[in-house]
């Protein structure tokens, strides 16, 4: 198995099974319902875990929750902790409804502050960081390998655009970034540290949570392409400055783009994971993510979602009328072991005829439900309930009319002892 890595700029082989394969995928900053684009690294992490386990690996996936941050303070002044708690639950519910299970660990930054303080102390002792006015900054000049991940080696004073730039006059160098931030008025959370009350910077929390849960060396680090610089460059610098090898393979997923008139004009940027599941159903959302290679951008529009829904129907139909056995599992292995190529895997699934193999493969992506009986959409269930009530009231004309309406939507209502059953018409 090999995966493209941003650091080496080529595909890198994974160790042989059973590994272990330790993975850290950067998670959301929690202050609102998560955007559909945030689902991509989650889905990729969960799919990779499931494929690696299928291939005999011992896998552990860590996905963090950033629950202290300027965005959260701004979204709920004086009540950021409560908002973060609520938004964490939303994220767990919404990603849970994708039906892929949950990562092995979901650490929260606020639960790792003592480890973060110790890590920063080590950086200060080593000369890689310096306190200034209650803040602590990483000293870029002390780490010559800075820029190795992103390729941004410019030394012309490029500002580090991580989070807010206030108090930047405290920095020795405009490129330096904050590891610890002094408490400011209005912020409702803060912790003790050798530099006074304050809270951790964003980058340091990921270095610390990854190392505490996976060790100083681990195999795969994931996250969106927008995190390469400065977030991941800074994580790598913090950890390697202390001599920890940190992540070996860096898998950055391409961004989700809103395209098509409706999406890019009105809905763009406000479609949440919740909206997408409620509008298109979890199976269509998952199949949509299979249609593009994880490292490439993916276009989200009414059209691409309709195409994904059509593919879901095609696969569901194929499972109703399967063909001969005898397809080769190795074909799928070749596609997924070579940089986890899900568009190729999808093409193979459309070609295969062997029901057992198709269901086994769909199961890796949380889509084996396509083999089961399809559950009727809520509006059809409502019609059937109204029909049942009409029957009980002996209003047979209305009951017949509702049956016809259900029929027109492609469903058949069957009366059974104690209720009804809705079956998709063939
Ligand atoms: Zn991170």
Q: How far is the CA of 307 from the centre of ligand 1 (A)?
A: 33
Please write the tens of the pLDDT for every residue from 172-191: 998 899 999 999 999 999 99
Compute the distance from residue 122 Cα to the ligand 1 centre, in Å. 20
Identify the H or E element spanning 283.
helix 282-290
Distance 68 CA to ligand 1 centre (A): 13
Return d(Cα 226, Cα 273) in angstroms, integer: 19
Work out the percent of the chain whose per-residue pLDDT is above 90. Answer: 84
CA distances from 293 to 201, 370, 415 (A): 32, 22, 45
Distance 101 CA to ligand 1 centre (A): 21
- Give tens-digit pLDDT for 225-267: 999 999 999 999 999 999 999 999 999 999 999 887 766 665 5
d(CA 350, CA 190): 54
Report DSSP letters for 185-252, one per residue: TT----B--TT-SEEE-HHHHHHHHHHHHH-SEEEEEEEEGGGIIIIIHHHHHHHHHTT--EEEEEEE
User: Ligand 1: distance of its center to the CA of 419 in Å?
Assistant: 50
Nearby residues of 291 by Cβ (< 8 Å), 6 or more positions away: 298, 304, 307, 308, 311, 342, 343, 346
Residue 219's φ and ψ, nearest 5 degrees, are: -85, -45
What is the Å distance from ligand 1's center to 160 Cα?
Answer: 16
Distances in Å between the Cα of 72 and the Cα atoms of 77, 115, 180, 207 are 8, 22, 17, 21
Q: How many residues does the chain have?
A: 426
Distance (Å) from CA 312 to ligand 1 centroid: 33
For residue 339, the CA-to-ligand 1 centroid distance in Å is 22
Distance 231 CA to ligand 1 centre (A): 7
Quick one: pLDDT at residue 72? 94
Q: What's the gap in Å between 153 CA and the centre of ligand 1?
A: 21
Q: Kindly tell me if the per-residue pLDDT of 352 is higher than 50.
A: yes
Ligand 1 centroid to Cα of residue 221, in Å, is 9
Report residue 384's pLDDT band, with 50, 70 and 90 as the boundaries. Answer: very high
Q: What is the pLDDT of residue 116?
A: 98
How far away, in angstroms, is 206 Cα from ligand 1 center? Answer: 5
Distance separating alpha carbons of residues 280 and 401, to the nearest angstrom: 28
Beta bridge partner(s), residue 136: 131, 180
Q: Of 106-110, 151-155, 240-244, 407-411, which gets the smallest average pLDDT? A: 151-155
Distance 269 CA to ligand 1 centre (A): 21
- 306: closest CA among 339, 336, 332, 281? 281
Asked whether the predicted pLDDT for residue 66 surpasses 70, the reply is yes
Determine the distance separating the centroid of ligand 1 and the alpha carbon of 400, expressed in angstroms.
Answer: 58
CA of residue 210 to ligand 1 center, whole Å? 9
Distance 29 CA to ligand 1 centre (A): 10
- Secondary element (H or E) of residue 63: strand 59-63
**How remote is the CA of residue 274 from the centroid of ligand 1, in Å?**
23
- Expressed in angstroms and rounded, the spacing between residue 250 Cα and the centre of ligand 1 is 12
Mean pLDDT of 294-312: 96
Q: 284 C-alpha to center of ligand 1: Å?
A: 28
Q: What is the pTM of this model?
A: 0.88
Assigned token pair, 369? 């439900």
Cα of 282 from ligand 1 centre, angstroms = 26
Which tokens hold the place of 142? 């002390």
């Amino acid at each position: 198995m090999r995966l493209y890595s941003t650091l080496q700029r080529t595909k890198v082989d994974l160790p042989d099974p059973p590994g272990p394969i330790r993975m850290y995928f950067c998670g959301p900053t929690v202050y609102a319902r998560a955007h559909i684009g945030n689902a991509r690294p989650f889905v990729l992490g969960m799919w990779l875990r499931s494929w690696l386990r299928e291939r005999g690996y011992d896998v552990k996936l860590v996905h963090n929750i950033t629950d202290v941050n300027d965005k959260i303070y701004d979204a709920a002044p004086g009540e950021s902790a409560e908002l973060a708690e609520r938004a964490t639950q939303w994220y767990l519910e919404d990603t849970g409804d994708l039906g892929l299970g949950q990562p092995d660990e979901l650490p929260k930054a606020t639960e790792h502050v003592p480890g973060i303080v110790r890590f920063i102390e080590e950086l200060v002792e080593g000369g890689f960081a310096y306190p200034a006015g209650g803040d602590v900054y990483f000293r870029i000049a002390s780490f010559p390998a800075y820029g190795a991940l992103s390729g941004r080696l410019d030394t012309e004073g490029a500002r580090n655009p991580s989070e807010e730039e206030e108090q930047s006059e405290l920095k020795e160098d405009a490129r330096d970034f904050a590891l610890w931030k002094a408490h400011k008025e209005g912020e409702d959370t803060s912790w003790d540290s050798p530099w006074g009350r304050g809270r951790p910077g964003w980058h340091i929390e990921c270095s610390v949570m990854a190392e505490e849960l996976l060790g100083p060396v681990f195999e795969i680090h994931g996250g969106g392409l927008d995190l390469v610089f400065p977030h991941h460059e800074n994580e790598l610098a913090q950890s390697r400055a202390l001599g920890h090898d940190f992540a070996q393979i860096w898998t950055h997923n391409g961004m989700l783009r809103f395209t098509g008139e409706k999406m890019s004009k009105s809905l763009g940027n406000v479609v949440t994971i919740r909206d997408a599941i409620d509008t298109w159903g979890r199976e269509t959302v998952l199949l949509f993510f299979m249609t593009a290679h994880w490292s490439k951008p993916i276009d989200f529009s009414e059209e691409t979602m309709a195409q994904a829904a059509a593919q879901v129907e095609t696969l569901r139909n194929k499972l109703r009328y399967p063909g001969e056995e005898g397809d080769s599992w190795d074909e799928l292995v070749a596609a997924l072991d070579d940089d986890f190529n899900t568009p190729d895997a999808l093409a193979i699934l459309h070609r295969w005829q062997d029901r057992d193999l198709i269901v086994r493969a769909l199961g890796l992506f949380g889509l084996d439900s396509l083999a089961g009986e399809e559950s009727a959409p809520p509006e059809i269930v409502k019609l059937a309930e109204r029909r049942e009530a009409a029957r009980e009231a002996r209003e047979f004309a209305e009951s017949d009319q509702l049956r016809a309406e259900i029929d027109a939507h492609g469903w058949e209502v069957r009366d059974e002892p104690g209720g009804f059953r809705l079956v998709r018409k063939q």
